[in-house]
Amino acid sequence: MTISLSDHFTYGKLLRFTLPSIGMMVFTSIYGVVDGFFVSNFAGKTPFAAVNLIFPFLMILATVGFMFGTGGSALVAKQFGEGKREEGNRTFSFLVYTTAFLGLVFAVLGFVFIRPISVLLGADGELLENCVLYGRILLLALPFNVLQFLFHSFFVTAEKPQLGLAVTVGAGVTNMVLDAVLVILLPQEYKLVGAAIATAASQAVGGIVPLLYFSRKNGSVLRLGKTRFDGKALVKTCTNGSSELMSNVSMNLVGMLYNLQLIHYAGEDGVSAYGVMMYVSFIFCAVFIGYSIGTAPIVSYHYGAQNHAELRGLLRQSLLLIGVGSVGMVMVAELLSAPLSRLFVGYDAALLALTVSGFRYFALCFFFMGFAIYGSGFFTALNDGLTSAIISFLRTMVFQVAAVLLLPLLWGIDGVWISIIVAELMAAVFSFLFLILKKKKYRY
């Protein structure tokens, strides 16, 4: 049975509607984890460290897709809620074309400057050459990766979350199959190249297939067509999506800072251990992000329709679901800390011990992470980009930077892992404060 944005949502209907978005984000994260598994186990420790060192920079360039996807889908869904369907489709088309252009510009700039940026991140020698090699191959697919992130949100707005999941699965299978073929079969000196080609190919699938779907007559409420430059829509989209831009840019900048701290306290092994935790974190975090993406168009639609009773119900249901999910995630992460660490770095006893020790601290952050992610996404959906950006900035920049700079002075390498827990706790507290202070936006 088709679920529309205008429906009344029970717990069951909410889960049915958001599960494809959750699956879409989780599967995106899983095939990234598979990429890391092949690089670590077949290419070696230095290529694995190189991937983890340069990947945050590549993700910063791709964040424009998150911004235009989340911010733009909030605007388009609100226009649909107000009954402005033609205007919504013009806005959608304008944002897709603008995102593709920016992705191309960023790819060119990244290709030119990736070597000095890798040096700035602490790479030298073989590690530096691996960073440049892997990064330049992925930059060739950056425009498609940017579009892939954009369409994650717009598939939900188009009331086709299942199709978004299918595209993501197709991209993921492409990555996994090519990883298995290229990384395993190519000579040792080309294994990192094979992993990069596999990832770039999957990103191309994730960007091109939705572009073709929305360019033709289709069964969704969205279709690409003629449009014009719309400065007002551009500003509103950037304002709405500024929190997602802030969150992703800050998160990856902080990731670079973590790597610098870990190189100082534990050398190359510290970067590799952190990489394992980040791969696992991507999957757990993807559940919260997927849920936020899945619920955002519903919130935006009912906000545009001024249906405040539905907004209150959605918020109450979401906080309960996130609370239950958070407890379950911590339990799973603690149980799997050793097996997952062994999967990636079992070939090195010292590195394995460091990874397992850090993982057991790190897993506790899942108690709090989901509340800040949803809080930021909820305000984005309400077209309150400023509040959303403040929450994201506090979570991913202020609290994490302060914690990772100060706590290692007290507890050494353990302080690096504990800093993540402290930052997520503070972000959750401030998210609840903003929900209380801004309740007039969703309660009357």
Q: Distance (Å, rounded) from C-alpha 65 to C-alpha 249?
A: 12
CB-based contacts of 308, cutoff 8 Å, min separation 6? 302, 442, 443, 444
Predicted local confidence at residue 442, as pLDDT:
66
Contact 394, 430 (CB under 8 A): yes
pLDDT at 17 over 90: no
* pTM for this model (two decimals): 0.71
Q: Which of 65, 69, 15, 33 lies closest to 285, judged by CA?
A: 33
Q: Which of 135, 141, 112, 176 lies closest to 53, judged by CA?
A: 135
Predicted local confidence at residue 430, as pLDDT:
93
Q: Could you tell me the two tokens for 366?
A: 């899942």
Contact 62, 109 (CB under 8 A): no
pLDDT at 259 over 90: no
Predicted local confidence at residue 151, as pLDDT:
92
Percent of the chain surpassing pLDDT 70:
97
Contact 369, 362 (CB under 8 A): no
DSSP H or E stretch at residue 243: helix 231-266
Q: What's the per-residue H, E or C state across 3-31?
A: CCCCCCCCHHHHHHHHHHHHHHHHHHHHH
Q: What is the mean pLDDT of residues 249-270?
A: 73
Q: Distance (Å, rounded) from C-alpha 9 to C-alpha 210?
A: 27
pLDDT digits (tens, 9 = 90+) for 160-219: 888 888 998 899 889 889 988 898 888 888 899 999 999 999 999 999 999 999 998 888
pLDDT digits (tens, 9 = 90+) for 218-255: 888 888 888 888 888 888 888 877 766 777 777 667 77
Q: Which of 438, 307, 326 lies closest to 378, judged by CA?
A: 438
Task: Tell me the helices (H) and strands (E) count for the chain, helix number first.
Answer: 16, 0
**Three-state secondary-structure class, residue 224:** coil
Q: Could you tell me the two tokens for 124?
A: 């030298």
Q: Distance (Å, rounded) from C-alpha 421 to C-alpha 434?
A: 20
Polymer length of the chain: 444
CA 204, 205, 208, 214 torsion-angle sign: negative
Contact 30, 172 (CB under 8 A): yes
Q: Which of 395, 355, 367, 180 lies closest to 275, judged by CA?
A: 355
pLDDT at 92 over 70: yes
Predicted local confidence at residue 268, as pLDDT:
67
Predicted local confidence at residue 389, as pLDDT:
79
Residue 278: pLDDT band by 50, 70, 90 thresholds?
confident
Q: What is the mean pLDDT of residues 279-300?
A: 85
Q: Furthest-apart CA pair in the chain: how many Å?
A: 65
The dihedral formed by the CA atoms of 296, 299, 303 and 309, expressed in degrees to the nearest 10? -170
Contact 389, 397 (CB under 8 A): no
